[in-house]
């Protein structure tokens, strides 16, 4: 039976060579998705019955004549489920011609870093990534590629998402001045809490850079920082060399906005620094500004659980519209506050939600948690006590957790995720 296996191996891996017409029949530059690639293979199959092109294989090399990319003849096409690799001939300035075609189609791009002697170019957009590798045969001659240089073009088609959350970048407004307020901290041997606009954004941390835009809702902001001894090696007092300095800068032009403090720390008590600063932005989010004061809401705990339960159900049910609705406002406001029009940000965020959805078969909620009230009770954050986080997604060898700032729009009886 081993002979049969050998025979099968011999017959499966074919490279097809055609002696058909030389006309340019199959244009890969018109292909925009894997489905269209499969359709093109089917066309080749129909028109070249003698060559037995297999339209079902997920790894196939085709060398039919008549293949081209916008008029540049393609010698072989390797087509897999993940990418298409086109290789041109080593004749007639094919590398130069292919580069020109791609520049006409996609615009100019810089030469990318390459580990080899090849010259690489890279184009990336919402539907596809294209990488062109120029293989120099005539010698390294950048000014004009030689006649024998050839090229390999690798194309990765991306899935298209119609869901609004994956297309946020189209909604992002841009402005002449787009400040990005950043808190920079330099400190030694201490931990600190940061409270911006009465919102505790972090506690007992030693992280040195914070994006403040996400917590700004108007032109005037307040910031409070509480520095505490680090308690390393059991110490309850500041080390004699402890110091703390904090400055707010505008990262869009790297100009300082406000110096908060620069001081040595001593004693055993926490030290509080607070100040106000001009937090002018061309756009202010609605965020929790119209939120209800939740401090006396007797049903708040139930509402928190109901929100995370709704999220868990949406993820397990793979209900994409429901997932979109739960996260849209948060993701939109955060991307707008970052003035980020890059298509990849929203796409990556959406694919992260999809990854949880694909990998999970169960979710678990925290039932015992502490509620922290911010900004006059309009914004809450919760700390799970009986679980590691508010919602845990579990799959086989997979886990992920989520926890967000929540608010309740006035007139509504339901909490919403906002940061």
Partner 1 sequence: MKKIFYILPVVLIMVSCSKSQSIDNEELDHFISKLDDKSLEEIKEEMNSNVSQFESFSKFFESSFSNDIEIINKEDEKYEEEFKIDTSGIGKALHQFDNVEFTQTYEDYESQLEFSKNNSDSSKLLDLGEGVSQRFTPNKIYYHDGEVRTDSISNYDVDFTFDESWGKTKPIDSIDITYKVTYVKDYDVVEISVDNPTASYNGGEISLVKAEGNYIYFTMSDTLSAPVRIQGYNEEGKVLDRSGYSNNGVAPGEMESVFTEILGYLKKLQEKLNDDDFENTAEFQEYLKDNLSNLDFFNDNDGIFHRQYYYHGNVKSLKLYFEKDSENREIIFTARNYKPFNENDDLFVMETEDATVLLNNKGEQVITLNGFDGLENIGGNFYEDYNHFYYLNRTKKQLDTLLVYDIKALSNGLIGILPEQENEHYTLVTSNNIPIGSKSFWLLQEVGNIVFGITTDDKHYILDENANSMLIPGVTKVYDKQSDDRIMVSNTDRKIGFINSKGKLVIPFKYDDAKDFEDGLTAVKFNDTYKLIDINAKVLVDTEEDYINFFGEDDNNKRIYKFDYGKKSYNYKGELIEK
Selected range binding partner 1 among 6-14, 171-179, 186-194, 270-278, rule: CB under 8 A: 6-14
Phi, psi of 299 (to 5 degrees): -95, 10
| Whether the Cβ atoms of residue 217 and residue 256 lie closer than 8 Å to each other | no
Smaller CB distance to partner 1: residue 4 or 108? 4
Q: Output the smallest distance, CB 364 to partner 1, in A.
A: 5
367 binds partner 1 (CB under 8 A): no
Smaller CB distance to partner 1: residue 59 or 398? 398
Smaller CB distance to partner 1: residue 59 or 361? 361
Site for partner 1 in 227-256 (CB under 8 A): none
Q: Is the dihedral of CA 138, 140, 143, 149 positive or negative?
A: positive
Contacts of 30 (CB under 8 A, 6+ apart): 36
Q: Output the smallest distance, CB 390 to partner 1, in A.
A: 13
Of 261, 182, 179, 178, nearest in space to 227 by CA: 261
388 binds partner 1 (CB under 8 A): yes
Q: Output the smallest distance, CB 87 to partner 1, in A.
A: 24
Quote the tokens at residue 264.
């040595």
2 binds partner 1 (CB under 8 A): yes
Site for partner 1 in 77-136 (CB under 8 A): none
Quote the tokens at residue 76.
């072989």
9 binds partner 1 (CB under 8 A): no
How far is 194 from 113, CA to CA, in rounded Å?
Answer: 41
Length of the chain, please? 419
Between vectors from CA 138 to CA 134 and to CA 144, what angle results, nearest 5°? 65
Site for partner 1 in 43-62 (CB under 8 A): 52
Q: Output the smallest distance, CB 412 to partner 1, in A.
A: 31
Smaller CB distance to partner 1: residue 52 or 298? 52
How far is 22 from 130, CA to CA, in rounded Å?
Answer: 26
362 binds partner 1 (CB under 8 A): yes
14 binds partner 1 (CB under 8 A): yes
23 binds partner 1 (CB under 8 A): no
Q: What is the DSSP letter of 179?
A: -
13 binds partner 1 (CB under 8 A): no
Quote the tokens at residue 148.
């024998």
How many of the chain's residues bind partner 1 (CB under 8 A)? Answer: 22
Between vectors from CA 106 to CA 159 and to CA 98, what angle results, nearest 5°? 105
399 binds partner 1 (CB under 8 A): yes
Q: Output the smallest distance, CB 324 to partner 1, in A.
A: 25
Q: Output the smallest distance, CB 7 to partner 1, in A.
A: 6
328 binds partner 1 (CB under 8 A): no
Of 101, 85, 96, 97, nearest in space to 119 by CA: 96
145-170 as b/e: b if 16+ CB within 10 A: beebbbbbbbbebeeebebbbbbbbe
| Whether the Cβ atoms of residue 401 and residue 364 lie closer than 8 Å to each other | no
From 364, 374, 382, 408, residue interacting with partner 1 (rule: CB under 8 A): 364
| Whether the Cβ atoms of residue 303 and residue 386 lie closer than 8 Å to each other | no
- Strand pairing partners for 123? 130
Give the residues lining the site for partner 1 (CB under 8 A). 2-4, 7-8, 10-11, 14, 52, 361-362, 364, 387-388, 392, 394-399, 401
């Amino acid at each position: 039976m081993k002979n049969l296996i050998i025979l099968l191996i011999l017959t499966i891996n074919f490279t097809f060579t055609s002696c058909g017409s030389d006309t340019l029949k199959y244009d890969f530059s018109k292909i925009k998705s894997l489905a269209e690639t499969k359709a093109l293979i089917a066309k080749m199959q129909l028109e070249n019955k003698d060559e037995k092109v297999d339209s079902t294989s997920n790894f196939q090399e085709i060398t039919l004549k008549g293949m081209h990319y916008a008029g540049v003849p393609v010698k072989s096409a390797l087509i897999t489920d993940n990418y298409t690799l086109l290789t041109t001939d080593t004749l007639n300035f094919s590398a130069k011609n292919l580069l020109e075609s791609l520049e006409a189609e996609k615009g100019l791009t810089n030469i990318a870093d390459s580990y080899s002697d090849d010259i690489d170019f890279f184009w990336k957009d919402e539907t596809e990534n294209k990488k062109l590798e120029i293989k120099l045969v005539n010698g390294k001659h950048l000014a004009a590629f030689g006649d024998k240089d050839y090229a390999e073009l690798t194309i990765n088609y991306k899935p298209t998402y119609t869901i609004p959350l994956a297309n946020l970048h189209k909604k992002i407004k841009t402005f002449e001045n787009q400040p990005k307020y950043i808190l920079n901290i330099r400190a030694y041997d201490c931990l600190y809490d940061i409270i911006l606009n009465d919102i505790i954004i972090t506690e007992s941390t030693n992280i040195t850079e914070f994006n403040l835009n996400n917590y700004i809702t108007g032109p005037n902001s307040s910031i409070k920082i509480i520095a505490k001894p680090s308690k390393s090696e059991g110490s309850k007092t500041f080390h004699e060399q402890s110091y703390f300095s904090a400055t707010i800068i505008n990262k869009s032009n790297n100009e300082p906005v406000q110096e908060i403090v620069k001081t040595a720390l001593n004693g055993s008590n926490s030290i509080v620094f607070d100040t106000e600063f001009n937090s002018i932005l061309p756009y202010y989010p609605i965020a929790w500004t119209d939120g209800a004061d939740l401090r006396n809401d007797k049903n708040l705990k139930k509402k928190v659980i109901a929100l995370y339960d709704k999220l868990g159900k949406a993820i397990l049910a793979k209900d994409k519209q429901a997932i979109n609705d739960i996260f849209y406002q948060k993701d939109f406001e955060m991307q707008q506050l970052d003035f980020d029009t890059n298509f990849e940000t929203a796409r990556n965020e959406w694919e992260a939600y999809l990854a949880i959805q694909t990998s999970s078969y169960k979710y678990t909620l925290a039932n015992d948690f502490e509620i922290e009230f911010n900004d006059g009770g309009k914004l809450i954050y919760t700390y799970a006590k009986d679980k590691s986080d508010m919602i845990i997604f579990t799959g086989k060898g997979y886990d992920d957790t989520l926890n967000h700032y929540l608010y309740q729009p006035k007139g509504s009886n339901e909490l919403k995720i906002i940061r």
